[in-house]
Amino acid sequence: MTELKSACELFKAAYKNRYTWDENFPGYSADIEIKQGNELYTGIVRINSNFTVEVSGFGEEKVQESIHNQMQDLITHRKRTSFEKAHGKNQFNLGETDATGAVAISINGSAMGANYKVRDTEICYVRRVMGSIALTINVKESLDTGEGYIPSDYHAIFRNAQTGELLAERELQDTFEKVGDYYFLTHQVVHSIGEEGKTTTEFNFSNVRLLEPAVV
């Protein structure tokens, strides 16, 4: 029981140390520019205070849908959810500590099942299965906001969960800026690595502005 409690406490401290938007989050909007080779796309994104997403201005529906999904993923990491609600029914097990001081923790009971590594109250490694996809993320660097950390340089690998076949590999570097009381993604570089080499996509978010509360 002591080992399980220690694993839970270790993971809980890292989970609560993540940077998230608080209950007063007003929502925001931003202009977005996407560059990939000679291709250039521009549009507008908006995340409302209730965490719904609006994307407009893109000429291609496929691009607009991709950005919408990207914003939904961002909300998953920034929306504040209590540890008890997210992991209260899970069991935590300690694994080995690697040469960098990262402690392996496996979780039983989670719908997706997951393995993590925690170092210095930060989650620095994630491996979980989502349907037919096994996702592994290694965090290289993070931003300390003073209100929690945000991964800023990380490596993502997608594999077939059954066969282990490599489906996609990406290196990502994120830049954040504080607007008002909140930190927002303002620049992202994604290097997609495949058999034909590396493709780089750059996302620039500008004119980031908080939304005004609705007048009742």
| pTM: predicted TM-score of the whole model, two decimal places | 0.90
Q: What is the pLDDT of residues 66-92, one digit of tens each?
A: 999 999 999 999 999 999 999 988 999
Q: Residue 4 pLDDT > 50, yes or no?
A: no
Q: What is the pLDDT of residues 118-172, one digit of tens each?
A: 999 999 999 999 889 999 999 999 999 999 999 999 999 999 999 999 999 999 9
Residue ranges per structural domain of the chain = 2-210
In which order are the strands placed within the sheet that holds 39-48? Answer: 53-56, 39-48, 27-36, 197-210, 182-194, 166-179, 149-160, 133-144, 122-130, 114-119, 103-108, 91-97
Q: Would you state the pLDDT for residue 212?
A: 87
